[in-house]
Structure 1
Amino acid sequence: MRTAPGRARWLVPLVLLVVWLGVGGTLGPYAGKLGEVATNDQAAFLPRSAESTKVIEAREAFDQSETLPAIVVWTAGGDRVTDAQQSAATRAVAELAGRPGIVGAPSPALRSDDGQALQAVVQLEPDLGDELSDVLGDVEERAASVPGATAQTAGPAASQADLSQAFAGIDGLLLGVALGAVLLILLLVYRSVLLPFLIIFQSVLALGLACAVVYALADRDVVRVDGQVQGILSILVIGAATDYALLLAARFREELAVRDDRFAAALAAVRRSFGAITASAATVALALLALLASDLTNNRALGPVGAIGIVCAVLSSLTFLPAALALLGRKAYWPSRPSRSDASTEGHRVWRRVAARVGARPRRTWVVTALGLAVLAAFSPSLSAKGVPLDEIFVNDAPSVSAQKTLGEHFPGGSGNPAVIIADADRAAEVTA
């Protein structure tokens, strides 16, 4: 007959597993919902002190309805466009007025100085979301009706549509690649069938909890989420949770080598790895929170969101994983099984030598490593942070990039995307002049 203390030893791990399975079942779907509370406004990628950021904020006082311009450009294969083609292009875009997603009347088709291209601007609603591609398709269909001319669509609307298509499913792809890489490394290192999947599963549970917390906070405007933050959060949580799980799993294996009681081994593994895991997590979380000092809105947003992910990774590593290991015992490392004979080895001989050298000369070790890091850090000023031009963002030749090149060959730079100038009202005459 099992005693009360014996039942409690089974009960605690079982309760922890049930709680985490409930967390995964109820909060896991929030990993795919972060896009609902994400904001990707233009000012997020600009310094708060930049003049362009101040202009974006000042424009809100003018109560003007924002639009997303699509620039249609026609070429005639190197020949000069005819008056008939210009009239046909103007009629084609004029028919778009009043259609869903179209704001106001499109501009007439204007001829370039070299006479080889036409250009018209169609204003779209700025918040079309998934409907943007359909609206642009309608624009391109009408523009293609001009006889003898090739129509292309450029401008912010076309670039946004191509970016949305390029990043469609990117979070799932990043998550899949990260999980696959981690799984391969774990299989090679541990040569165990069950343990790698157990560690991956607890990492996914941590990600689900982190996404749910971030979703709730972002929905209440406590934290900010954009596409960049959303993608980094997945990789950060999976990587951190796996790292902490490796520390605990290695310690649990060592404890099993010196004791037969798997529950005591799990408790000892948590107690002896708690300091290393929490210290590592605190270092990462504080480093992330340092991003709050950044002048870029999206960088500042990553700080608290990343710290939340690290906390969730620690929680899953110190609760779910020890509970699962306690219930599985040596079976977690199948087909290899830790035995009492492993206790005499005290780890791999390579690491024993490393530990002996560090222990014999600790001061020389930290001085040499600090100097090495300083040498590497000396190259940091060579980092180029000038940004990436539009034609280098896409791996393949995106339609908006080709259209933008065509537009630049025949029209002045910035055509269809005018500069906005804000000045004091009493100096309007001078500014206009």
Structure 2
Amino acid sequence: MPWVVLGLWVAALAVLGPFGGKLADVQRDRAVDYLPASADSTQVAEMQDRLPGGETTRLVLVYHREGGLTAADRDRAAGQVERIAETFELTGRPGPVPSKDGATLMYPVGSTAPGTDEEARDDFVHGVRKITEGGDGLSVDVSGPGALATDAAEVYTSLGGPLLYTTVAVVALLLILIYRSPFLWLVPLVVAGIADFLSMAVAYGLHQFLGTPISGQSSGVMTILVFGAGTDYALLLVSRYREELRRFERPQEAMRAALRGCGPAVLASSGTVAAGLLCLLAADLNSSRGMGPLGTVGVLCALVAMVTLLPALLVLLGRRVFWPLVPAFGSRPKERRGLFAAMGSSAGRRPLAVLATGGALLGALALGAFALPGELKQEDSFTERPQAVTAMRTLAEAYPEHSTQPVTVLTPSGRAERSLREIRATEGVDTARTTRAGQGWTEISVVAEGAPQSPAETRTIERLRDTLDGSYVGGPSAEQIDLTETNARDTRIVVPLVLLSVLLILTVLLRSLVAPVLLTVAVVGVWGASLGIAGLVFGPLFGFGGTDPGLGLLSFVFLVALGVDYGIFLMHRMREESLGGAEPAAAALTALRTTGAVIASAGLVLAATFAVLTSMPMVQLVELGFVIAVGVLLDTFLVRTYLVTSASLLLGRKLWWPGALSKPPRQADPPREPETAGAAAR
């Protein structure tokens, strides 16, 4: 049987292998791929694609010299702009916009030649950057939405290799430390790598047949989930397999027993994560909605690989794979008082005090969420400042009196003149001009008086949307407004769906209403405390200028879905002990003692894989990775070990209400005295 399973996997990889390598080809990181599906800014981006020449790629050339530009600097700038106009097809002749202090010169440049082709857009940006040269104290930077999109795309493209290699290295190191074997660590790591390749092929199929959006963020998180969740399942299975090898002589029989023992917990765990992630399909934000299916693909591919390929390889390799700590048939593990037995004893002595102290600690940490920095601006999205962001900082200092990032308005061509008058009469508008028309729509470029993504510019955009009937207002600043508003709407819808799906799965698995509520409340507390810790370090320690609008929702989905995993492992073993006749207190402490080390190992691996995201150059990924890693560690070493155990001890049999385990066992009737014996006694 193991050889058959291995053969099926080889055949599956041979068929699906060519598709896994194509995932990077369909990855898209344009603004429209992250925007809300129904927002004004999305409509603008999609309609611009249909206008003559496609979407306009807007750039801003920034010439700056400390102390003031010279006549030679201005001549150089004019000559370079002339070369750009001769080399590329521009939407209009660029004109200089000098700053009041005379130290900066700005040239807005636009072209429809790249259209919606990202490669052509990047060629245009790089071509302009090659032409624009500074020197001798003159700095020249290229900024604007087009340049910012190119810099962001290059960062996302560069994530794949470093993210995968760093994740593999971290998981390998932890597995070596956990297993203390020169060979065993390699087996689950190889299987996780195969599962990751399989997930890429399946994700590519979803994109081709269902149009599922693939972004750098979603594909990166999918890889993290494959290695993190997959390694968790492997740790649980290998631990149970090691136990069964002491009871069964043949590895195949031991593996069957191991799969019967931990299989339900692993299936329920992966089902909970998948159900929670699929709730993201209800989100209106494209990036969140696309991450749901991809995350689900990653978890399910990890599950399939760890319950089929991993058991087959372990059986074929036999007991020697555990060398030098080989579990011999009929042997007993060394009896020693472990860390988790000591933790359980401390929780068992004063469970109410432990529960109250732990709950107060989580509540106090959660208060730190009020210190989270404000919304993350586009120029603050990089941990290392690219050229486009450097230019934006220069522009903000040189032109504080008005925006340097146009707002785009698309209005029906029949009312273009009227819309232009209304725009110019709107409070907060500096300038407005028609840039092009086609397909029944006219594009108007609007420059606001307020700085980009400032409260003043936000109010101007809101006034434009209220004033212009039948028109759409878009552009980078409008996109940021729509991202924030849509994330708030998605949170109100997705959070209840996640909680409901998790509660339903736990209720079915544990045959109880109280235990699922306990686990759910625990992981929600962990989420709040994790955001609180983030609020204490993001600004003061990391120096982040803002918080990603989607951080709250995504971290909630991942922490609730993944955190419940460990609750399932613990509660499933507790229920198993109770069914075996153990008293509630003994069942809780035994479950903690037997699963504590595995849960701790799994938590460390999962936290470490998400912590890999903190080494990436995008602030959104760093923030998400930090919050989830901290949450997993809190859940593993505080909530699961102390709070859930102490709550279980306090609840006793009520933990399993209204199931059969909530009722005390029936006392057997005393044996009746034989009649002859009774007569003799009389």
TM-score by length of 1: 0.83
The 3 A distance-change label for structure 1 pair 245 and 371 is same
1:66 aligns with 55
Displacement of 1:199: 0.3
Alignment partner of 1:194: what SS? coil
1:108 aligns with 95
Matched-pair contact (CA < 8 Å) for 2:20–2:202:
no
Alignment partner of 1:280: what SS? helix
Q: Distance in 1 between matches of 2:407 and 2:97?
A: 19
Alignment partner of 1:229: what SS? helix
2:207 aligns with 218
Q: Deviations over 1:241-293 (max 9, x none)?
A: 11101111111111111111111111111121110100111111111112223
**Counterpart residue identity of residue 97, structure 1:** A
Matched-pair contact (CA < 8 Å) for 1:39–1:224:
yes
Matched-pair contact (CA < 8 Å) for 2:270–2:303:
yes
1:120 aligns with 107
Q: Show the 5 A alignment for 1:372-383.
A: 375=363, 379=367, 382=370
Alignment partner of 2:408: what SS? coil
Q: Which of 255, 271, 281 lines up with 1:266 in the alignment?
A: 255
Q: Distance in 1 between matches of 2:243 and 2:48?
A: 64
Instruction: Please give the root-mean-square deviation of Cα atoms over the aligned residues, in Å.
Output: 3.5
Displacement of 1:294: 2.7
Aligned residues: percent identity? 31
The 3 A distance-change label for structure 1 pair 366 and 32 is farther
Q: Show the 5 A alignment for 1:6-405.
A: 12-24=1-13, 26-28=15-17, 30-48=19-37, 50-57=39-46, 65-82=54-71, 85-97=73-85, 99=87, 102-104=89-91, 106-124=93-111, 125-127=114-116, 129-130=118-119, 135-144=124-133, 149-340=138-329, 342-343=331-332, 349-351=338-340, 371=359, 375=363, 379=367, 382=370, 384=372, 386-405=374-393
Displacement of 1:159: 2.2
Displacement of 1:107: 0.8
Q: Distance in 2 between matches of 1:64 and 1:142?
A: 23
Q: Which moved more, 1:334-343 or 1:373-382?
A: 373-382
Matched-pair contact (CA < 8 Å) for 2:5–2:308:
yes
Matched-pair contact (CA < 8 Å) for 1:49–1:295:
yes
Q: Distance in 2 between matches of 1:294 and 1:139?
A: 38
**Counterpart residue identity of residue 120, structure 1:** Y
The 3 A distance-change label for structure 1 pair 146 and 89 is farther
Matched-pair contact (CA < 8 Å) for 2:395–2:404:
no
Q: Which moved more, 1:256-265 or 1:419-428?
A: 419-428
Displacement of 1:341: 5.2
The 3 A distance-change label for structure 1 pair 254 and 365 is farther
Matched-pair contact (CA < 8 Å) for 1:81–1:118:
no
The 3 A distance-change label for structure 1 pair 142 and 351 is closer
Q: Deviations over 1:67-94 (max 9, x none)?
A: 2122112224322442x64344223222
The 3 A distance-change label for structure 1 pair 268 and 348 is farther
Q: Distance in 1 between matches of 2:321 and 2:313?
A: 9
Alignment partner of 1:70: what SS? strand
Displacement of 1:302: 1.0
Q: Distance in 2 between matches of 1:196 and 1:133?
A: 42
Greater relative contact order structure (CA < 8 Å, 6+ sep)? 1
Are 1:411 and 2:399 matched, yes or no?
yes
Matched-pair contact (CA < 8 Å) for 1:75–1:81:
no
TM-score by length of 2: 0.55
**Counterpart residue identity of residue 236, structure 2:** L
The 3 A distance-change label for structure 1 pair 138 and 55 is closer
Q: Distance in 2 between matches of 1:264 and 1:274?
A: 15
Q: Distance in 2 between matches of 1:282 and 1:139?
A: 50
Q: Distance in 2 between matches of 1:374 and 1:147?
A: 57
The 3 A distance-change label for structure 1 pair 372 and 146 is closer
Matched residues, number: 418
Q: Distance in 1 between matches of 2:119 and 2:335?
A: 58
For structure 1, which runs of at least 5 residues remain unmatched after alignment? Answer: 1-11
The 3 A distance-change label for structure 1 pair 158 and 117 is same
Q: Deviations over 1:278-324 (max 9, x none)?
A: 01111111111122233322111111211121111111111001111
Q: Distance in 1 between matches of 2:328 and 2:360?
A: 40
The 3 A distance-change label for structure 1 pair 421 and 151 is same
Q: Distance in 2 between matches of 1:208 and 1:169?
A: 18
The 3 A distance-change label for structure 1 pair 374 and 288 is farther
The 3 A distance-change label for structure 1 pair 374 and 148 is closer
1:9 aligns with none
